Amino acid sequence: MREKVIETVRCAPLYEDERHIFNECVKLSLSQDCVLTRRLLRSDGASFSQIVAIDSMDDLSDFATADPYETRLQGSYDHIRQKCGAAMAGDRPRQVETGDPVRLIGELSMCATEGALLSKIRAIIAGLGGMQFTYQWIRFNGANPATGDTVEIRYLVGCRPSWTQQYIARLWYMNDPYVTYARTNVAPALTSHVNVHRVDHWLVTEARMHGFASGIVVPAHIHGHGLVGLLHVSNSIRAPAGEDALWDNRVLFRAMSSELLDWRVSQVRENALAKYELSEQETEILRMLRDGASASHVADQLGMSKHTVYKTIYQRITRKTGATRITDAVEKAAAHGLLD
């Protein structure tokens, strides 16, 4: 587990650039294994990241030309093109993973980077009758995904990259029936069943124009986290044949969706641990507070005065977490999964 964090820190990106475009900020970064991350930071603080594996120059130019800010990001994309070209000319084409989907799903938790995840997911999806996929980690403000506003989404892109570009640029996530479904459901569902009232929903039509004909959506939740995982797998085979092929594998898709959500949670926790450097005892205190303990409980438990708890321990915790009050620290730690 520790190794994973170290790993992500160690791999310096091949290229990184940040551009401000009016009120927004776009950050492009290319990893050593040619995985491109485009992070859009909206002026209200919400962020949208697309994680795309660049296998060929075509992938890159599809992604770049679909970018609404292409005219502003041209320079960055040119640099990325050069870096990718050099990286691809130098060595082997990307290894195509193969193998038993069940085994591969089991290996997801061992992936060190999102790039590694992407390549494993691709192999799994291909083995389970899917042609395209997206996986999104959606973070809501507040612990209840049914009511909160979206504050962060990360998309693992396993479909035409132009789709996610358009999806984010046009705010389609605000209208996406599958996201609405995922907020309150955990069961896998065929996309045609999610849309019973509006079979011809324009977003479905748009998606079909990107090759999403039949599909299955598989949400995953973790209690107490405002974090939802949503796997969307599709193929270009018309229903019912296309749907049957996917539905038969729903249990495996469900396992995969949960694994991916867990991966993210542990990633966030690792990063938070490294960032806040809370001690075992401090974490324990936060846990007690979350469960309703008062300062006197804490003092009793630790065999020290209430004064010490307030003046020393609480202050140390708030300083480390950058919170203003101890209740904020509890919330923050809980949101990062440090108290599970």
Partner 1 sequence: MYEHEAIDLFRATFETLSPRWQLSFDSNALELSPITGPVVAVAKLSSEQATQIRTLAGVTSSVTVDALLFERKFRLHLVGRKVDGNRWAGTASPSINAEAVAGDLARGLSFAETVLSEVNSLVVILNRDGTIQRFNRFAEELSGLSEAEVIGKNAWDLFMSDEDSSESRQNIERFFLRGEAYEVERTVETIKGPRLFQFRNKFARTGDRPDETFLICSGIDITEERRARDRLTELANTDTLTGLRNRNYLMDRLDHLIATPESAGRLALLFIDLDNFKRINDSLGHRDGDQLLRQVAKRLGRVAGEEQEIIRVSGDEFVIIVSGDFARFTAQELANLVVEDFELVYVLRANSYRMRASIGVVEHVKHGDTAFDLLTRADLAMYAAKAVGKGRDISACHVYTPELSERAERGLEFYQALQYGFLRKEFALDYRDCYTVDGTARGLLASVRWNREAVAPLEGRELFSMVESSGFGVQLGEFQLTEACRQLQEWRAAGQAVQHVTLSVPYAQLVDGDLAGCVSECLREHAMEPSSLRLIVQSRLDQTAAHVLDRLETIRSTGVQILAALTADSAFPNLAKLPVDGLCINEEIVGRVPSEPVSRALVKGIVGVCSEMELSVLVHGVDSREQFAWLTQFPGAEVQGRFVTDAFSTTSSSM
Check binding of 58 to partner 1 (CB under 8 A).
no
Q: Is 155 helix (H, G, I), strand (E, B) or coil?
A: strand
The closest of 48, 55, 89 to 69, measured between CA atoms, is 48
Q: How many residues does the chain have?
A: 340
Q: Binding of partner 1 at residue 1 (CB under 8 A)?
A: no
278 vs 321: CA distance, rounded Å = 8
Structure tokens at 207: 């998606």
In the list 72, 83, 250, 290, the residue contacting partner 1 (rule: CB under 8 A) is 72
By CB under 8 A, the residues from 134 to 193 that bind partner 1 are 169-171, 174-175
Closer to partner 1 by CB, 46 or 245: give it: 46
C-beta of residue 129 within 8 angstroms of C-beta of residue 249 = yes
Tell me how many residues contact partner 1 (CB under 8 A).
Answer: 23
23 binds partner 1 (CB under 8 A): yes
The distance of closest approach from Cβ of residue 205 to partner 1 in the complex, given in angstroms and rounded to an integer, is 6
> Which of 91, 205, 223, 303 touches partner 1 (CB under 8 A)?
205
In terms of DSSP H, where are the helices of 200-279?
Answer: 202-208, 241-247, 250-276
Site for partner 1 in 85-144 (CB under 8 A): none
By CB under 8 A, residue 304 contacts partner 1: no
Q: How far is CA 244 from CA 97, 115, 134, 135, 209, in A?
A: 25, 30, 19, 21, 21
Query: In the complex with partner 1, which residue's Cβ is closer, 125 or 179?
Result: 179
Q: Please provide residue 7's backbone torsions phi and psi, each rounded to the nearest 5 degrees.
A: -55, -50
C-beta closer to partner 1: residue 27 or 72: 72
* Residue ranges binding partner 1 (CB under 8 A): 21-24, 42-44, 68-69, 71-72, 169-171, 174-175, 197-202, 205
